[in-house]
Each structure stands twice: as structure tokens, then as C-alpha cells.
Structure 1
Amino acid sequence: MPETILTPPLAAAAIEDRSSARNPRRMPGATAEAEAALTVAWARDDDEVREAQALRHEVFVGEMGARLDLPPGTPAGLDVDRYDAFCEHLLVRAPGDGAEPGPVVGTYRVMTPAAAARAGGLYSENEFDLAPLAPLRTTMVELGRSCVHPDWRSGGVVMALWAALATFMARNGLQTMVGCASVGMRDGGHAAASLWRRLEASHLAAPEWRVRPRLALPVEELRQDLDVDAPPLLKGYLRCGARVLGAPAWDPDFNTADLPVMLRLDDLPARYRRHFLGA
């Protein structure tokens, strides 16, 4: 089981300069021994946030070909948007070299209800009308910008992230997680439309929680009969009891179809409650 270190969130932590510990170095491999030595912590300063942003850029731009609308003055090689400053950033690190911390190999950003109020709303509200979720807002967090380094996608990093997130939710009296699960559209969207039709029949949320996309994927113009597997992250959410809140939005910048997903702690199957919460 990876070591989980839940440090105070950025807003409550002292800011210190650790830039000397951020030198890039060769990425270690995801061996079983290395996965057992993963550490998880909340970013405590701007340098650590930038490490998460660098990993996001590597995955979203380098792998997926995303076109980012960056704030003026953003350093090269970072994925930054206006919501980052309001969010807590969860980091998974590979084993370090002596006293030096290991590189960030996985990340999530988390927007709490108070942070969403300060930011003027959630990131996913740019893609969906979330008005039906208003009754859940006081105990609802948004998960976003999740990614794992390509050398570390055997599952250990995601499990470490989820364990830390579940503990964070329980300790802070939070109940609901929402976010967008992205499906690549290199095939023009046919796989995403087919996946949506399957999930609509099997994992659609109750009518009172359903939301509408602002820029809908044109499902009716696409094939809907392909035998498509859900991406690994979405598949994991569904195993944990997540529900799809409605039809996918089209994100032209990231070239993805985004499915709105909600997971409530009360819906976690018993085996996952024991694994993540010890309950």
C-alpha cells in the first residue's frame, strides 16, 4: 500500500522556496517495488503546483495534442488555467533519490465548495449546465486535470490518488465528486457516441441529477453501434459506483468528448469503502 501523506492544503500551508529540489532527472520505472514506495501529498507551494502543471502539459499537449488557451506570461511547458489558483493539487511522487523528492507521476486538482464560490463557478460549468446539482453544492467537489505519466499507468498511481481523495472527502465532510471523463476523438467521435449510448442504458444518473452540455457532441450524426471499452479512468469510476449525468459535450481544444460524471461516497461498494476508507 503506498504511503499516503495528507499535508495541509495550499491555502493553509506556509509557502517555502524549494526550487532547488525541482531539477528534472530520468524518470524511474514503475516496478512493483517502486509502486510500493509511492508517496501522495497535497502541493504546498507554487513550485509543487508547477510540477503538476508540467506533467499535465506532457500528457495533454505532448500525447493528446491539446491546444491550450494559456494565461499571458505562462512559462513554456506548463498547462495552466485560471482555475488552478483556486484549487488544491494532489501529487503522487515516484521514489526519490536520497533526500531529494521523486518526480511527480500522477496528479489531480480538486476544487472545494468554498473555492468554487471564490472562482465564480466550476471548470465543468464551461461545458455543462450544472443547475440540477445545486442541492449538492455545499458538500460537492470537482475533480479535474487528472493524469498519470505514461511510464506509471499500471494502476498503482491511480489507486494512491483515489485513496487520498477518499480520505480528504471523509475528513472534510464532503460527499459528492463531479468532473468530466474524457474520451478521445481521433476517430471523429464515433467511439465516444457509441460509448455514451451504452452508458446511457447502464449507468445514467437519476433524472433529478441530469445535466445538459453547452456544446453537445453530435451523437445522432455519428455511429452508435461500435463495441467500445470505456477508458481506464472512467471504467474505474464506474466500478466505484459513479453515474453519468448526461450526454457528452465536445471539447474542441482538447479534441475530446467529455462525459459528466458524479460519484457519491454513499454509493461506494462495500469493498471499495473498506479499501479507501477502512469502513
Structure 2
Amino acid sequence: MLHAPPGRFTAREAQSPADLSRVRALRAICFRNPSLQECDAFDQAARHVLIEERDSAAAVCCFRLTAFTGDTLQHSYSAQVYDLTALRQVEGPMLELGRFCVHPEWQDPDILRLAWGWLAGQVDAQGAALLFGCTSFDGVESGRYRDAFALLNSRHLARAPWRPGVKAAEVIRFDSIDAADIRAGLHQLPPLLRSYLAMGGWVSDHAVVDRAMNTLHVFTGLEIAAIPPGRKRLLRALAAPKAAAGH
């Protein structure tokens, strides 16, 4: 179990049906559907992680992680809406981070740091070459995120040989967006996406409109070898055994 300094939050893998029920209940709240125990066909193959407030045991964050190779990548959640043919050339395991969400009443930055610490431990343990997933923007009105999409298009696109292709029926192509306010775009980026980009992550050249989930989402990739050494040291410190021992 990992603890965020000074130990207010803990991260652990969901182990029981009760844990999974809490994961799905939290996802339903975060994805604006509190009446639904949110789940899909990709839950079964995934490892699910709960981050809880230590004293109250309140579930404040959750996500799932699933391992793939180039030969199995087509079975990932992301591959259902993006053409990931180019990524089959990646040498080494790939980890898909999915359904990442933080309870709207718990916006402490230590939660995200703890999540990245847990992920760093898994990346090292599995020798992953790529961490990837779909980063969500709330709602399906693309005009709200014009500045963010222009920023992504100008600075953070995947290099051409690895860039995901269009597969979904309804997409927003970033190259169709005129120049916009880059500073405003930074503020529109979801925290998870900002973390990816700060470590050298990149995105697809289009967003997918997901009306069922009421989101716009962008394929996001992070090549582990490209993470700056200083950032790797910080993440590994969070994932170190001494952190897991608690206080």
C-alpha cells in the first residue's frame, strides 16, 4: 500500500467484489451518472486501483490498468475508437490507463501524485515501454475546448510514425481549428493530461466525440524512455518500498 506525504491518502489494488462496487460507484459519480454502477466489458481483464482517504476510508480516486503487447493491442479500450496500427511496432509491454477519475469533492494534488507513484511502480515492475489511454474532456461541446485543442495541435502531437489514426464515426480534427489563446488552452487541459504532457507525453491529432459517456476524449501516450530523468526519480521515490511502509 502506498501513502501520499504525509500519509493522508493510500493507494491499493481492488481485491474484492465490494471493492469493485466502490470503484464503479465512484466512476458513476465522476462521469455524471450517479444512478448507474458504471462498468463495461473491459473491466474484467484490468487491475483496478482505489485511492482512499486514510482516516475515513472514503474512495477519492480510482483507475484501471491493463497490459498489452503489439499483438494484443487491438483488444484495448482505446483501439475500439482509434486506429492503433502504428503502435504495434512498439517493442515491449504497453499499459493502458483507463477510467481515471477523482471524486469532485476531493481535489487534493496529493491524490494525483500518489496515483502516478503507483503507476511508476507498475511501469518498472512490468518493464513497460508505453503508457497510454484516453483523456476525457467533460461534455461534447467542442467549442469549450478550442484553445486546448489548438495548443495540443501546435505542441503535443504524436510523431507521425506513431500517430493514431481516425476510427470513430464522430471526431474533431485539431488541424481544423484556427489559432487560439495558448495560455487559455493550458487552463482547459484536464489535470491528468497536464501530467502526461509534463513528462513528455503526446496526443492524437483528433478528439473522439463520445455521446454515451458525455465526453470528448483524446488518445494520450507516454513513452517511458522519454520521461526526463529528474521526473523519473521523483516518481520512483513515491513508488519506493519505504513509501509503502507508511508512518
Structure-1 residue corresponding to 2:152 = 199
Deviation at 1:222, TM superposition (A): 6.3
Structure 2 residue 124 is matched with structure 1 residue 170 = yes
Structure-2 residue corresponding to 1:4 = 2
CA RMSD of the aligned region, Å?
2.7
Structure-1 residue corresponding to 2:18 = 47
Higher relative contact order (CA 8 A, sep 6+): 2
Residues 1-279 of structure 1 mapped to structure 2, 5 A cutoff? 4=2, 36-62=7-33, 77-96=36-55, 102-113=57-68, 117=72, 121-136=75-90, 138-185=92-139, 188-213=141-166, 214=168, 215-217=170-172, 225-226=180-181, 227-228=184-185, 229=187, 230-278=189-237
Partner of 1:246: helix, strand, or coil? strand
Partner of 1:152: helix, strand, or coil? coil
TM-score, normalising length from structure 1?
Answer: 0.74
Contact 2:139 2:215 in 1 (8 A): yes
TM-score, normalising length from structure 2?
Answer: 0.83
Partner of 1:254: helix, strand, or coil? coil
Contact 2:157 2:205 in 1 (8 A): yes
Aligned counterparts of 1:219 and 1:269: Cα–Cα separation in 2: 27
Aligned counterparts of 2:137 and 2:179: Cα–Cα separation in 1: 14
Partner of 2:32: helix, strand, or coil? helix
Aligned counterparts of 1:225 and 1:271: Cα–Cα separation in 2: 32
Partner of 1:82: helix, strand, or coil? coil
Aligned counterparts of 2:209 and 2:142: Cα–Cα separation in 1: 9
Aligned counterparts of 1:277 and 1:91: Cα–Cα separation in 2: 19
Contact 1:192 1:257 in 2 (8 A): no
Aligned counterparts of 1:210 and 1:135: Cα–Cα separation in 2: 12
Identity of aligned residues (%): 24
Partner of 1:80: helix, strand, or coil? coil
Structure number with bigger Rg = 1
Unaligned runs of 5+ in 1: 6-31, 64-75
Partner of 2:205: helix, strand, or coil? coil
Structure-2 residue corresponding to 1:67 = none
Contact 1:195 1:224 in 2 (8 A): no
Q: Show CA shifts across 1:199-257 (max 9, x none).
A: 12111121111012323126577666353222222112111211113221111112322
Contact 2:65 2:95 in 1 (8 A): yes
Aligned length: 231
Deviation at 1:120, TM superposition (A): 6.3
Deviation at 1:62, TM superposition (A): 4.1
Aligned counterparts of 1:201 and 1:221: Cα–Cα separation in 2: 12
